[in-house]
Amino acid sequence: MLKPGSFFQSNFQLKTRAPIFILLLLVAAPGARGTTLVHMDVVDLTHSAQVVARARCRANTTRWEDGHLWTLTTFDVLELWKSTALRTAAPRTITVRLVGGRDRRGTVLVDGVPQFHPGEEVVLFLEPSAAPSATPSAMGELTVTSWAQGTFRVRRDRHTHEEIAVQDTSGLRVFEPATRAVRAGGLRRIPVAELHQRVLRASAGAGRNPS
């Protein structure tokens, strides 16, 4: 398992001296650099997440709290596929808090943490933010389940014009606990409609599909 010290050395690209503390589920791949995530398929993500939404990024802001730099992203909710943690049944917007970001004091980049740009559409697996748990401003904010694994970018196929979801981990490595093997991870291309159906089936307790 990845030790906190080795995480700071190998997975942070720090251009600031501000301290930062993070808890995450990562493993170290022997002889490999960068982040390796413990694999979660769509069923795992759906069960872990309390909110699954298709959304459009509106804006990003950064904030220093207790010596940590956070990026808060506002999304317009287009479709709500699952919701057990939102205060309103059909919110128009949600705020996602993730560690790292850029501001005038410096840059904190964290492997595996997604970055969002205004105007882009995504499908996000979300849960209540617990960092920093004692900060009143964090109330009602969400964070992405398993970071890159819980982030799907929505694209349109140039030939068929079908909406396609691409998981952020398609460019990273994932660790399979059952086989103790590391492989290239992510759903590189899955129709948004199929992803939606997988989430609905998982929410209803149906069996899993390969992913």
Per-residue DSSP letters for 22-86? ----EEPPTT--S-EEEP--HHHHHHH-SEEEEEEEEEEEEEEETTEEEEEEEEEEEEEEEESS-
Instruction: Judge whether residue 188 has pLDDT over 60.
Output: yes
Please state, in angstroms and rounded to a whole number, the distance separating the CA atoms of residues 123 and 95: 14
Residue with tokens 């919701």: 83
Residues 6+ apart with CB under 8 A from 93: 58, 74, 75, 76, 77
Instruction: Name the DSSP letter for residue 142.
Output: E
SS3 5: helix
pTM over 0.85: no
pLDDT at 9 over 60: no
Report pLDDT for 119: 98
C-alpha separations of 105 from 17, 30, 56, 70, 193 in Å: 9, 34, 28, 13, 42
Confidence at 20, pLDDT banded by 50, 70, 90: very low
**Domains of the chain in sequence order:** 40-170+186-203 (2.40.50.120)
Q: Who wins on pLDDT, 18 or 165?
A: 165
Over residues 97-104, the mean pLDDT reads: 92
Q: State both tokens at 124.
A: 């996000």
pLDDT > 90: percent of the chain: 52
Q: What is the pLDDT of residue 15?
A: 37
Please give the share of the chain, as a percent, with pLDDT higher than 70: 73
User: How far apart are alpha carbons 146 and 58 in whole angstroms?
Assistant: 22
Range with top average pLDDT, 4-13, 49-58, 171-180, 202-211: 49-58
Strands 173-176 and 36-38: what pairing?
parallel
For residue 73, pLDDT beyond 90 = yes
